[in-house]
Amino acid sequence: MPQAKLTDRFGRTIDYVRLSVTDRCDFRCVYCMAEDMTFLPRQQVLTLEEIARLAQTFISLGTEKIRLTGGEPLVRNDIVDLVREIGTMGLRDFAMTTNGNQLARLAQPLRQAGLKRLNISLDSLDPERFHAITRTGQLEQVLDGIDAAREAGFDGIKLNVVVMKGRNEDEVPALIEFARRKRLDISFIEEMPLGHITEHHRGESLFTSDQVRNLIRQHHELVPAMADSGGPARYYRMPDSPVRVGFISPHSHNFCATCNRVRVTVEGRLLLCLGNEHSVDLRRVLRGYPENDSRLRQTIIQAMDLKPERHHFSTQGDVQILRFMNMTGG
């Protein structure tokens, strides 16, 4: 019998869950983290068994799409085993967001373990800039990872670019050409005020999706695409390419009305909204009732009542959400 889906107070169906598998990362992207981050002690982090149990429980509540994220999911030991386990659970869509740094080694095993799609972050094609933005990353290694992912035969690979004024907005045309050449979809993301950073002032670095679109239109026609990805991006196509160009615009085009998502942090905190603090502690239930799946299911069903109608990100760069993106699960 088809499972009734989770719904919230605003009539939205929630069938997409982003599970964070670690808060750790091998990069320190300037918009995402402080340079000297303190990471969670091991006992606060969900085990792989607990994450798999969460996945199974959400699926029993009608979840059709799971994305593994972090932190950087590929720094978690045994990530391929977790993918293999969730991969057998019958999801319509099973994806991961990664910085690509370890894909040269892991793309093939992940694909074989049942992962269907990948989002790979790529903010610059210039090695020095790439290193400056990620604070630790080597561009060449990520490009090798992207090629390995293409060869592994995923159902879809998308590049994610956070665009920042004065940092990488001049690379938008080059990134579009790269995506066209590699035949990869590409999404441009507005920087969100998650976590307090001192490296730059977020209000000054905001480069809106409209500005990005105008830059692209100097080189290519962009036609709105109909297909709904089930995510927050609005998609366009270029008439002479199969590549889709997405825009994730939390500031300029709020995407809350069609929100179908919740997140679970690696501490087991169910976050009902990216831009609000409403949450429920699932780790307490996972550990307090290890045999009682109906208790876990009831907790999740009731949590949907807490999902706020929308987020209110300020464009002034004020810190409204103290948790960093690596803690949130991007």
Residue ranges that bind ligand SAM, judged by CB under 6 A: 25, 31-32, 69-70, 72, 97-99, 121, 160, 162, 189, 191-192, 194, 325-326, 330
Q: How far is the CB of 132 from ligand SAM (least distance, A)?
A: 15
Cβ closer to ligand SAM: 189 or 303? Answer: 189
Residue nearest to ligand SAM (CB): 330
Owner of token pair 């501490």: 267
Which stretches within the chain are classed as H helix?
Answer: 48-60, 79-87, 103-112, 127-134, 139-152, 172-182, 202-205, 209-217, 282-288, 293-303, 325-328
Q: Which amino acid is at 290?
A: P
Q: How far is the CB of 290 from ligand SAM (least distance, A)?
A: 29
Cβ closer to ligand SAM: 62 or 156? Answer: 156
Q: How far is the CB of 153 from ligand SAM (least distance, A)?
A: 21
Cβ closer to ligand SAM: 6 or 311? Answer: 311
Q: How far is the CB of 256 from ligand SAM (least distance, A)?
A: 16
- Residue 289, by phi and psi: left (phi above 0), alpha (psi -120 to 50) or beta? beta
Q: How far is the CB of 217 from ligand SAM (least distance, A)?
A: 23
DSSP string computed for 189-234 = EE---BS--SSS-HHHHB--HHHHHHHHHTTS--EE-----SSS-E
Cβ closer to ligand SAM: 200 or 213? Answer: 200
User: What residues does 234 pair with on adjacent strands?
Assistant: 247
Q: Which amino acid is at 150?
A: R
Cβ closer to ligand SAM: 210 or 305? Answer: 210
